[in-house]
Each structure stands twice: as structure tokens, then as C-alpha cells.
């Protein structure tokens, strides 16, 4: 595994910060407060994307990150609304670089798998960008395990590799445990999962009828619309009350405890909302509590169909 570290050699932090809300629900003041809270807590991974808030997320993060470029890792993603062709990747990378105000991008992800563009073109371009010092690490986000392995084989042809994978992972979205996390462990690929709170479901706020993405956004409503998921969230809230630990802290700690996870991305609209996730850094989840949390959701089906014989 190629170790992920800042330019000054500091290893990647156990938590990272996702700046998706910058320029959306988080204004300049809230963004700065959250950034400073993360720095104060020792977080050194900051993640954004070309497409977030029409580029405003990259611009806002860039202003905050520029003074300490050697002390943190800045990750962004290629556009998710166009082919991953050589021309598109070069153009979008250059615009992301300018928005972020950096000479090179630490982690450059493909935001999604592109079935239309030849992988040799896509990853050959990323390999060239890496060799020219335009990016440090190649990443993939929202890839299936077979897509990761196919891309990894193509990378090897160009003398490089996928260094980072960014999948969705939380207590009610555990499909990654079946093939993606084992594949990444096997290939020495770091894993930086997003959405540990399940769009806010696992904070317990929806049990009180609170507003939020699960009610206002059709995509999130569908993603977390199954009744058993809401039952799991209620169970997590009960454990939260029993042990005196915020549900959000438990949810993030549960994700970080998986041995394949390198750095879990947390996010929020403001510093107050972010704090329970930051508190994960002070929590070592005991084995018995981890087991109780795990039992709240079903284990994903195994990848092979003869598991009854094992």
C-alpha cells in the first residue's frame, strides 16, 4: 500500500472532512469555523468535488487550505456529468486546480465509473498527470469491486495504481463489506468512506420529525427509505441514550473501526452539528458495544452463493 501522507510527511488522519456543503448549506463563516475545528482536532484530509455547488465548494475550500498546503491533503473529484475522456479530465483538473489554488492536487478521484470511455484512455491520462506532478494519488469513488479491479489492472499497464477508494459506508449501507473492502485490502488501496451518518438518518433526528435531506431530497429519501433502516436508527438512538454517547458519534466510530477503513469522511452544515462526529476521535468503541451496534442492521449477503457449506 502506498502510504497516504501530507507533503510534509504526516500520515493521513483517522477522520477526514467532506466539504460538500460548502457553498450550499454552509456559508463562508460556517465553512471557516468547521475547517478550523477540524484542524484543531488534528484532521488533515479535506475532500471536495468539481461538481459540488457549481465549483463554489472547491473555491471556498481552496481559500481555507492555501496557507497550509503542505500540512493537509486536499482531495477532489472529476466531473460526474461528462465522460472521463482525456480532454475532459485535463480541462476539469485545470479548473479544479485553479479553484483550489494549488500547484498539484493530492488525491484526484474519478467521481463515478464511466462505461463509455476506454479505461486505457482514462487511466492513461491520470497516470500521465501523476508522472508530471499534477496529481499525487489516483482515486476512484462509487466504483463496484469489479470496476476497481478492472481499473487496477489497467493502471498496472501504465506503471501506477489506484491508491484510494471512496465508497458509501454506514450502518445501514453495508454492501461494501462483501467485496469492495476485501478487494481494497487485497490490493493495498486506502479506503476513505463517505456518509457515515446515512444522510443524517443515524443521528436520530428523524425520529423526532426533524426536517432534512431524507424528507426534502428524493434521492436521499429513496436511498434511506426502507423501514428497517429507520428501525436501526431508532435502535442506535436507544444505545446512545443507554451509554450516554451521541448517536452520531457511535455511527462514525462504528465505520472507523473496520480494519480496511483508512479515513472516514465527516461533514455538517456548521461547527455545532459537526462536533459529535469530531468527538469520535476521543472514543475507542469497546468490543461489546461495537457488537451491539452491528446487530442493529443485517449482515450483507456473502459474495459467493455456497456460503451454507462453509
> pLDDT tens for residues 275-294?
999 999 999 999 999 999 99
Please tell me the predicted confidence (pLDDT) of residue 1. Answer: 67
Query: Which residues have C-beta within 8 Å of that of residue 259, sequence separation ≥ 6?
Result: 185
Closest CA to 50 of 19, 73, 71: 19
| DSSP-derived 3-state class of residue 33 | helix
Each residue of 106-121: pLDDT tens digit?
A: 999 999 999 999 999 9
Check pLDDT > 60 for residue 44. Answer: yes
CATH code assigned to 15-198+252-283 = 3.20.20.100
**What does the pLDDT average to over 242-271?**
98
The neighbouring-strand residues paired with 77 are: 109
pTM above 0.75, yes or no: yes
Please tell me the predicted confidence (pLDDT) of residue 304. Answer: 80
Residue 205 banded pLDDT, cuts 50, 70, 90: confident
% of residues, the chain, pLDDT over 90: 89
Which grid coordinates belong to 231?
A: 428501525
Helix runs in 218-305, H state only: 218-223, 227-243, 247-256, 271-278, 287-294
Residue 211 banded pLDDT, cuts 50, 70, 90: low
Count CB atoms within 10 A of the CB of residue 10: 14
Burial class of residue 265 in the structure, from the number of CB atoms within 10 Å of its CB (0-12 exposed, 13-18 middle, 19+ buried): buried
Check pLDDT > 70 for residue 202. Answer: yes
Residue 35 banded pLDDT, cuts 50, 70, 90: very high
**What does the pLDDT average to over 65-88?**
97
C-alpha span between 278 and 17 (Å, rounded): 10
**What does the pLDDT average to over 240-249?**
97
Give the CA distances from residue 255 to residues 20, 173, 245, 258, in Å, rounded to whole numbers and listed in that order.
19, 11, 15, 6
Residue 310 banded pLDDT, cuts 50, 70, 90: low
Place of cell 466510530: 253
232 neighbors 296 (Cβ within 8 angstroms) = yes
| DSSP-derived 3-state class of residue 11 | strand
C-alpha span between 243 and 285 (Å, rounded): 11
**What does the pLDDT average to over 189-196?**
98
Domain map (residue ranges) of the chain: 15-198+252-283
Count CB atoms within 10 A of the CB of residue 88: 17
The rounded Cα 45 to chain-centroid distance in angstroms is 10
CA torsion 242-193-113-146 (nearest 10°) is -80
Helix axes 119-131, 86-100, angle to 10 degrees: 40
Average pLDDT, whole number, for the chain?
Answer: 95
Which grid coordinates belong to 268?
A: 455538517
Closest CA to 56 of 103, 91, 20: 20
Amino acid at each position: 500500500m502506498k502510504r497516504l501522507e501530507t507533503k510534509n510527511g504526516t500520515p493521513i488522519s483517522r477522520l477526514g472532512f467532506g466539504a460538500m456543503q460548502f457553498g450550499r448549506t454552509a456559508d463562508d463563516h460556517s465553512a471557516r469555523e468547521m475547517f478550523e475545528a477540524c484542524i484543531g482536532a488534528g484532521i488533515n484530509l479535506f475532500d471536495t468535488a468539481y461538481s459540488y455547488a457549481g465549483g463554489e465548494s472547491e473555491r471556498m475550500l481552496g481559500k481555507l487550505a492555501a496557507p497550509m498546503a503542505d500540512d493537509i491533503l486536499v482531495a477532489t473529484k472529476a466531473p460526474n456529468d461528462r465522460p472521463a475522456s482525456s480532454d475532459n479530465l485535463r480541462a476539469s483538473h485545470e479548473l479544479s486546480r485553479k479553484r483550489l489554488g494549488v500547484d498539484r492536487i493530492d488525491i484526484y478521484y474519478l467521481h463515478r465509473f464511466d462505461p463509455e470511455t476506454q479505461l486505457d484512455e482514462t487511466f492513461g491520462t491520470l497516470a500521465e498527470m501523476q508522472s508530471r506532478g499534477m496529481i499525487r494519488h489516483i482515486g476512484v469513488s462509487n466504483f463496484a469491486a469489479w470496476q476497481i479491479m478492472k481499473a487496477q489492472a489497467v493502471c498496472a499497464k501504465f506503471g501506477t495504481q489506484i491508491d484510494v477508494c471512496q465508497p458509501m459506508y454506514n450502518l445501514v449501507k453495508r454492501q461494501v463489506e462483501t467485496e469492495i473492502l476485501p478487494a481494497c485490502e487485497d490490493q493495498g488501496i486506502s479506503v476513505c468512506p463517505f456518509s457515515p451518518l446515512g444522510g443524517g438518518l443515524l443521528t436520530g433526528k428523524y425520529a423526532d420529525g426533524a426536517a432534512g435531506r431524507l424528507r426534502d431530497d428524493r434521492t436521499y429519501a429513496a436511498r434511506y427509505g426502507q423501514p428497517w433502516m429507520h428501525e436501526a436508527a431508532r435502535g442506535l438512538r436507544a444505545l446512545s441514550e443507554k451509554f450516554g454517547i451521541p448517536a452520531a458519534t457511535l455511527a462514525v466510530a462504528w465505520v472507523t473501526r473496520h480494519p480496511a477503513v483508512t479515513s472516514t469522511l465527516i461533514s455538517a452544515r456548521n461547527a455545532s452539528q459537526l462536533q459529535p462526529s469530531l468527538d469520535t476521535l476521543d472514543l475507542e468503541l469497546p468490543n461489546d458495544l461495537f457488537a451491539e451496534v452491528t446487530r442493529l442492521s443485517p449482515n450483507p449477503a456473502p459474495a459467493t452463493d455456497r456460503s451454507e457449506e462453509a
